[in-house]
Amino acid sequence: MSKAKIEKGARGETAAARFLENLGYTILHRNLRLSHLEIDLVCRDGECLVFVEVKNSPAGNFGHPATWIGSEKQDNLRRAAEAYLQRYPAPGLDIRFDVVTITKGDVEHFPNAF
């Protein structure tokens, strides 16, 4: 992956983390790698553990970023969440998958996206 793409992703994750913190979420992990799987953000929202996929489109090209998350990506995120819960058990917490998109600087949040 190119340095520019990594930096773009980091900027998007930072913007998403700030946005979610302003909503009262607690950021537990950023850009977490579990074997070959990755989770952009792991957060706590009350009694819910939230796995967040962040998509950043600075130029707004190629359609809405939320449409970039197909079934294969969703399956990978579910597997990553399972690996996370094996490493960091969270008894009693609900689990949710959110998506945060950033398009030309505008942040959108899709709770319980899948």
Q: Please, which contacts does 25-34 make with residues 24 or more away whose CB atoms are closer than 8 Å? A: 25/50, 32/84, 34/80, 34/83, 34/84, 34/87
pLDDT beyond 80 at 7: no
Question: What does pLDDT average to over the chain?
Answer: 91
Report how far residue 77's alpha carbon sits from residue 80's, in angstroms, rounded to the nearest whole number: 5
pLDDT in tens, 13-59: 999 999 999 999 999 999 999 989 999 999 999 999 999 999 988 66
Q: What angle do CA 90, 91, 96 make, to 5 degrees?
A: 60
Rounded distance between C-alpha atoms, residue 56 and residue 64, angstroms:
10
Fold of 3-110: Trna Endonuclease; Chain: A, domain 1 (3.40.1350)
Res 68 pLDDT > 90: no
